[in-house]
Structure 1
Amino acid sequence: MANLSVGKQQLKPFTIDSKSVIEKYLLKLSVDISDYTFAANYIWLANSSGFYAIINKCFCLFVMTGGELTMLLPPLGKKKYITDSIVECFAIMNENNSSPYYARIDYVQESMIEEFVQSTDEVGSMFEMLENYLVEKKLVDYIYQVDALINLRGNSYHTKRTEINKFIKSYSDYAIETLDSTKHADEIIGLFNKWVSDRVKYMPKEEAEVFLEGIHQERHAIKQMLKHYELLNLIGIVIYINDELKGFTVGEKINGDTASVIIEKTDFEVLGCAQFIFREFSKVLKEHYGVMLINVGDDMGFENLKKVKMSYRPFRLIPKYTIYQK
Structure 2
Amino acid sequence: MCMMLPPLGKNNIQNTLYECFSLMREMNDTRGFESYINYVYEDFLNLFDKSSFRIVEGYPDYIYNTSDLIKLAGRKYEKKRNEINYFKKHYTASFEKFSPRHIADALLMIDQWKREKIHESNLSNHNEAHYQYSLVHEAEAAKCAIIFSEELGLQGAIITIDGCIEGITLGEPIASHTASVLIEKTNNTFCGMPQFIYQQFCSSDFSKVAYVNAGEDWGIEGLRRAKMSYHPCMLAKKFLIYEKA
Q: Tell me if TM exceeds 0.5.
A: yes
**What is the aligned partner in structure 2 of residue 38 from structure 1?**
none
**What is the aligned partner in structure 2 of residue 325 from structure 1?**
243
Unpaired runs of 5+ in structure 2? none
Identity %: 34
**What is the aligned partner in structure 1 of residue 234 from structure 2?**
316
Mean Cα deviation higher: 212-221 or 144-153? 212-221
Greater relative CO, 1 or 2 (CA 8 Å, sep 6+): 2
Please tell me whether residue 84 in structure 1 is matched to residue 15 in structure 2: yes
Equivalent-residue separation in structure 1 for 2:213 and 2:179 (angstroms): 6
Q: Aligned pair in 2 of structure 1 residues 97, 231: CA closer, same or farther (>3 Å)?
A: closer
Provide the aligned length of Structure 1 versus Structure 2: 241
Whichever residue aligns with residue 199 of structure 1, its letter is K
Deviation at 1:103, TM superposition (A): 1.0
Which of residues 173, 176, 190 is equivalent to 1:256?
Answer: 176
Is contact 1:285–1:291 with CA below 8 Å preserved after alignment?
no
Please tell me whether residue 273 in structure 1 is matched to residue 193 in structure 2: yes
Is contact 1:237–1:249 with CA below 8 Å preserved after alignment?
yes
**What is the aligned partner in structure 1 of residue 2 from structure 2?**
70
Q: Aligned pair in 2 of structure 1 residues 226, 104: CA closer, same or farther (>3 Å)?
A: same
Deviations along 1:195-229, whole A, 9 cap, x unmatched? 12222333354575333223343333333323332
**SS at 1:139 equivalent:** coil
Is contact 2:117–2:135 with CA below 8 Å preserved after alignment?
no
Is contact 1:235–1:251 with CA below 8 Å preserved after alignment?
yes
Whichever residue aligns with residue 56 of structure 2, its letter is E
**What is the aligned partner in structure 2 of residue 298 from structure 1?**
216
Unpaired runs of 5+ in structure 1? 1-68, 118-128
Q: More helix per residue: 1 or 2?
A: 2
Deviation at 1:142, TM superposition (A): 0.6
**What is the aligned partner in structure 2 of residue 105 from structure 1?**
37
**SS at 1:211 equivalent:** helix
**SS at 1:238 equivalent:** strand
**SS at 1:202 equivalent:** helix
Equivalent-residue separation in structure 2 for 1:189 and 1:324 (angstroms): 37
Q: TM-score, normalised by structure 1?
A: 0.69
Deviation at 1:286, TM superposition (A): 2.6
Please tell me whether residue 194 in structure 1 is matched to residue 94 in structure 2: no
Is contact 1:199–1:268 with CA below 8 Å preserved after alignment?
no
Please tell me whether residue 219 in structure 1 is matched to residue 156 in structure 2: no
Deviation at 1:322, TM superposition (A): 0.5
Equivalent-residue separation in structure 2 for 1:164 and 1:94 (angstroms): 50
Equivalent-residue separation in structure 2 for 1:139 and 1:92 (angstroms): 26
Please tell me whether residue 179 in structure 1 is matched to residue 98 in structure 2: yes
Is contact 2:118–2:135 with CA below 8 Å preserved after alignment?
no
Kindly report the root-mean-square deviation, in angstroms, between the aligned alpha carbons of the 2 structures. 1.9
